[in-house]
């Protein structure tokens, strides 16, 4: 490694922090370099890899107060209690013991230590062999043991390497008293600058510090940029991936589809999710015994009917059309039953009935419900888009042209049409688009021109082109899914894998 401009700013900060001592514990290095723990740990790995530093585990001893040490500190060490007793006038051992100031097993050691501390003098009665105790001049001085214990009380923990010579002696003495002091062996990594590391800082590190890392508005406006040395930036270095909160990809597709409709001159309409059977089926010339109306296909809302669902003339004219066209007894009770709408065509037809437009471009997007078994192809609840165009001379050709435009805007170029059947359109078509990935044609949506049996009872004179398609189908194509349930699985890994904008 010869060129230090190839070092990352974190690496440079670390080397700079290490320079004065040549070595530091990780904790001290974090402080000295003024970086986060994480940055320091990463930087250390990089520098180790480059051979600019080395790290090794160093062990050290930490001391703290033991439980007995704590107790004794509170009530006074035995030697301290002894001196206090003497000062209070208890001059003989008998009186000290009698007054319960020290226990008999403490007293000999206490005398020895108090003497060593020069806290007491011993003397003898002239008349007998009895020893008498006298407080000496140093009796009020704290002993080294007391000082160390008190310091530990305040600091909680100390490393033995931080102790002064006196404290070290005190520690030796305290070690002899069980449970006064607790000692723990610990390890930490110490980082050492290698020779290569020293060399690399030595040469040009001084002017490195004056290198400018960021281009600020000040540097530009003051014209200072002409004099400043900019450090180089690795513009192709990878960055951490960001996963901010975002809209669900399906909602992105819905937004995109709305944009497309608007760009084609369409206006959005909305309608209720629950509908009377009348608007979901009857107004669309779907006979009351049609299989789609059965419970196996449609969710009915039990216990609720809608009594005033349409005007009496609308009901009259539509029931007439059913009687004539399908030859059966139309039953108003069937029309009153409430359903979870099975298609957005119910919204379309209501809009047409209410507004009777001569020409219009309208779309709606919303949830629809089908009583189906959930599988890789089917959900019981999905989103449908519906478009209608009415104009005096609208034709099937216009409808197919519109589909081509619509799908082209979604990036789908290959499309074809297939005849099919819906009770409410004639002719009816199904659009198929070519899926390059699957290498096959897939069914997209249904469409057609509303039959006179649909338009005439509602007073619509011009042809109405209509089409509907499931949004989930479009999303599956876009995201390359072959199971529609994946869209609703909330699989975070998948959700995160989808770029918010396609590059
Ligand atoms: N309603 C049809 C469906 O749900 C789609 C369609 C809409 C067909 C409009 C013709 C006209 O599949």
Q: Pick from 446, 450, 451 the residue to mutate for probing ligand 1's pocket: most ligand atoms within 8 Å of its CB.
A: 446
In the predicted model, what is the mean pLDDT of residues 414-418?
Answer: 96
Tell me the CA distances in angstroms from 186 to 80, 172, 178, one per residue in order. Answer: 33, 19, 21
Output the CA angle 279-282-284, nearest 5 degrees. Answer: 80
Q: Pick from 352, 422, 465 the residue to mutate for probing ligand 1's pocket: most ligand atoms within 8 Å of its CB.
A: 422
In the predicted model, what is the mean pLDDT of residues 378-393?
Answer: 96
The pLDDT tens digits of the residues spanning 319-343 come to 999 999 999 999 999 999 999 999 9
Q: Pick from 371, 381, 445, 472 the residue to mutate for probing ligand 1's pocket: most ligand atoms within 8 Å of its CB.
A: 445
Mean pLDDT of the chain: 91
The rounded distance, in Å, linking the Cα atoms of 108 and 150 is 24
In the predicted model, what is the mean pLDDT of residues 442-452?
Answer: 95
In the predicted model, what is the mean pLDDT of residues 426-438?
Answer: 92
* pLDDT at residue 241, as a whole number: 82
**Which range among 7-21, 264-278, 462-476 shows the weakest confidence by mean pLDDT?**
7-21
The rounded distance, in Å, linking the Cα atoms of 474 and 348 is 21
In the predicted model, what is the mean pLDDT of residues 385-402?
Answer: 97
The pLDDT tens digits of the residues spanning 201-245 come to 775 555 555 667 778 899 899 998 888 888 777 788 888 888 888
The rounded distance, in Å, linking the Cα atoms of 419 and 239 is 52
**Which range among 232-236, 441-445, 451-455 shows the weakest confidence by mean pLDDT?**
232-236
In the predicted model, what is the mean pLDDT of residues 52-69?
Answer: 92
User: Ligand 1 mean position to 246 CA, how many Å?
Assistant: 32
* pLDDT at residue 1, as a whole number: 44
* pLDDT at residue 432, as a whole number: 95
Question: Count of residues for the chain?
Answer: 503
User: Ligand 1 mean position to 155 CA, how many Å?
Assistant: 80
In the predicted model, what is the mean pLDDT of residues 104-113?
Answer: 89
Number of helical H runs and strand E runs in the chain: 20, 16
Question: In angstroms, how far is CA 103 from the centroid of its own chain?
Answer: 64
User: Ligand 1 mean position to 453 CA, how many Å?
Assistant: 16
Atom of ligand 1 nearest to the CA of 344: 1
Atom of ligand 1 nearest to the CA of 342: 4
User: Ligand 1 mean position to 102 CA, how many Å?
Assistant: 101
Residue whose Cα lies nearest atom 10 of ligand 1: it is 447
The pLDDT tens digits of the residues spanning 272-304 come to 999 999 999 999 999 999 999 998 899 999 999
- Which residues, 6 or more positions from 471, have their beta carbon under 8 angstroms from its beta carbon? 250, 253, 254, 257, 365, 382, 383, 384, 385
Query: Confidence band (pLDDT; 50, 70, 90) for 4?
Result: low
Instruction: Find, among 94, 87, 3, 97, the residue nearest to 52 by Cα.
Output: 3
User: Ligand 1 mean position to 383 CA, how many Å?
Assistant: 13
| Lining residues, ligand 1, CB within 6 Å | 343, 345, 386, 422, 425, 446-448, 466-468
Please tell me whether residue 107 adopts helix, strand or coil conformation.
Answer: helix
User: Ligand 1 mean position to 385 CA, how many Å?
Assistant: 9
Question: In angstroms, how far is CA 92 from the centroid of its own chain?
Answer: 75
User: Ligand 1 mean position to 271 CA, how many Å?
Assistant: 16
Tokens matching residue 247: 């809209």
* pLDDT at residue 2, as a whole number: 46
User: Ligand 1 mean position to 469 CA, how many Å?
Assistant: 7
Residue in the block written with tokens 């030697």: 79
Query: Is residue 3 scored above 70 in pLDDT?
Result: no
* pLDDT at residue 19, as a whole number: 87
């Amino acid at each position: 490694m010869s060129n230090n401009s190839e070092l990352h700013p974190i690496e440079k900060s670390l080397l700079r922090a290490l320079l004065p001592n040549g070595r530091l514990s990780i904790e001290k290095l974090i402080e000295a370099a003024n970086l986060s723990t994480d940055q320091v740990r990463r930087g250390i790995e990089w520098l180790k890899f480059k051979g600019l530093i080395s790290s090794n585990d160093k062990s050290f001893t930490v001391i703290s107060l033991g439980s007995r040490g704590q107790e004794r500190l509170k009530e006074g060490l035995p030697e301290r209690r002894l001196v206090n007793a003497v000062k209070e006038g208890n001059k003989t051992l008998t009186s000290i013991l009698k007054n319960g100031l020290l226990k008999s097993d403490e007293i000999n050691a206490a005398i020895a230590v108090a003497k060593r501390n020069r806290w007491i003098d011993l003397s003898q009665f002239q008349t007998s062999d009895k020893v008498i105790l006298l407080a000496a001049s140093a009796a009020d001085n704290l002993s080294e043991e007391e000082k160390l214990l008190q310091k530990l009380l305040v600091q909680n923990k100390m490393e033995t390497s931080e102790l002064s010579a006196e404290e070290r002696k005190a520690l030796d003495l305290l070690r002899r008293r069980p449970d006064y002091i607790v000692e723990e062996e610990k390890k930490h990594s110490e980082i050492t600058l290698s020779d290569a590391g020293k060399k690399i800082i030595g040469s040009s590190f001084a002017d490195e510090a004056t290198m400018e890392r960021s281009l600020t508005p000040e540097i530009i406006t003051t014209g200072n940029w002409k004099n400043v040395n900019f450090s180089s930036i690795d513009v192709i270095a990878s960055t951490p991936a960001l996963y901010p909160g975002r809209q669900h990809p399906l909602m992105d597709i819905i937004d995109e589809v709305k944009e497309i409709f608007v760009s084609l001159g369409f206006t959005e309409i909305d309608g209720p999710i629950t509908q009377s059977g009348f608007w979901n089926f009857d107004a669309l010339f779907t006979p009351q015994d049609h299989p789609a109306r059965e419970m196996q296909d449609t969710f009915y809302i039990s216990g609720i009917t809608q009594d005033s669902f349409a005007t009496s003339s609308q009901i009259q004219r539509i029931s007439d059309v059913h009687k004539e066209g399908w030859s059966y007894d139309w039953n108003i009770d069937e029309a009153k039953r409430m359903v979870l709408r099975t298609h957005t065509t119910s919204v379309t037809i209501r809009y047409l009935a209410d507004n009777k437009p001569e020409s219009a471009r309208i779309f709606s997007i919303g949830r629809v419900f089908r009583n189906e078994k959930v599988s890789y192809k089917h959900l019981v609840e999905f989103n449908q888009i519906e478009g209608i165009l009415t104009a005096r001379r609208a034709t099937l050709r216009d409808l197919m042209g519109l589909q081509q435009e619509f799908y082209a805007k979604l990036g789908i170029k290959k499309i074809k049409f297939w005849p099919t059947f819906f009770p409410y359109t004639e002719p009816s078509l199904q659009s198929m688009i070519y899926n390059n990935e699957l290498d096959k044609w897939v069914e997209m949506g249904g469409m057609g021109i509303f039959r006179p049996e649909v338009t005439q009872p509602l007073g619509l004179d011009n042809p109405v082109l209509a089409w509907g398609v499931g949004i989930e189908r479009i999303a599956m194509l876009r995201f390359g899914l072959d199971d529609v349930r994946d869209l609703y699985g909330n699989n975070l890994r998948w959700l995160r894998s989808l770029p918010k904008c396609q590059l």
